[in-house]
Structure 1
């Protein structure tokens, strides 16, 4: 069995798959921000002045910071799935070449 942890760090997506994964990750981020700001009424409450100071100082940075976290989680999940089940999506020449280490 190959060392999947080593391959996880050194394998990269092929350019086409990288583009698709990036677009899907950005869509996930946009969905999160839409849900947090619009569906939950954060923007409207902020503009009406109904938010407490704690919501502004803690809630807003937390909501914004979770967007890249969701992108990273999605990216790593797809990378693990590709590494374990669909290796054709990955370019592992850097992981397989010990001379570059």
Structure 2
């Protein structure tokens, strides 16, 4: 029983950290992309797309960005985007690992 509770707690903590950092990295990715496309208020676009926790804001950003070609992409921004992409993917995986740990703990709790 104690092992199951530890597994559930560890899974929940891992999932929370993973998805929280993923959201922050997604915010940074969208902000850098919106700045490179010279969209008005890139912070608002990033917050709308990554901060609300739903896909409607992200979908709206992806549709709107088609109208703004990349005009100010520097090498530093490109490297920064690559770094944020790698970190975002890594923490997305961490979040899913936490969810799997919680699922395993729940199965042990039920069985």
* TM-score, shorter chain, exceeding 0.5: no
Larger Rg: 1
Q: With CA pairs under 8 Å and 6+ residues apart, which has the higher RCO, 1 or 2?
A: 1
TM-score tier by shorter-chain length is: 0.3 to 0.5
